[in-house]
Amino acid sequence: MSKIGKQLIEIPAGVTVDVSKDEAKVTGPKGTLSLTLPHGVEVKVEGNQITVSVKGNSKQMTSLHGTIRALLNNNVKGVSTGWSKQLEMVGTGFRAEVAGKTLTLIIGYSHPVKIEAPEGITFKVEKMIITVEGIDREVVGQVSANIRGVRPPEPYKGKGIKYSDEVIRRKLGKAAAKAAVA
């Protein structure tokens, strides 16, 4: 049995879960998400709790047990409170602005970089902080990774776009490395 798969999922007030044969649909105040259930995984809703169980004891079934439970828990949290990631821009002259569903980054290239928000994702910019918000955790993470990938932080001065909780390991430059040897 999976340790994560055995845990129950609490359903907050205002969230409903409808389970059919091969799909679990979660509806809440922020929207609706659905999850396709693989063959051999059972999801039961009892009161305000969700239980995930598997048929069989194969390695694939035990791994699916924890994975499906985690994905279902992410959907429940997403439709009730939502997901967000914050990215920080570090660099002189770097700036970002939002116009509708388009994020425009001016980050030291000869041209501005435009990123379109997928369905269900919103951008907010406050000074040097970009916030990506949405109900689907996977999409929020992927969009954040795409933004970070436009100008990843470099190890010498730390310039670039990084997650707000990310720690960048700094390297010594040539001059500092020569001084340390001498």
Q: Record the pTM.
A: 0.88
Distances from the Cα of 176 to the Cα of 5, 101, 113, 171, 179, angstroms: 51, 44, 34, 10, 5
87 and 69 belong to one structural domain: no
1 pLDDT higher than 80 = no
Confidence of residue 91 (pLDDT cuts 50, 70, 90): very high
182 pLDDT higher than 80 = no
Q: Mention every residue, 6+ apart, whose C-beta is less than 8 A from residue 179.
A: none
124 and 145 belong to one structural domain: yes
Q: Is residue 103 part of a domain?
A: yes
**CATH code at 49?**
3.90.930.12
**Facing residues of 9 across strands?**
50
- pLDDT at residue number 81: 95
Instruction: Find the domain containing 13 and state its range.
Output: 3-80
Domain-ending residue, one of 62, 80, 98: 80
- pLDDT at residue number 59: 85
112 and 74 belong to one structural domain: no
- pLDDT at residue number 26: 96
24 pLDDT higher than 80 = yes
Domain-ending residue, one of 80, 101, 130: 80
Stretch 78-104: mean pLDDT, rounded?
95
- pLDDT at residue number 137: 96
Stretch 39-60: mean pLDDT, rounded?
90
Judge whether 78 and 138 are in contact, CB under 8 Å: no
- pLDDT at residue number 173: 80
96 and 128 belong to one structural domain: yes
Number of domains in the chain: 2
CA angle 134/138/141 to nearest 5° reads 75
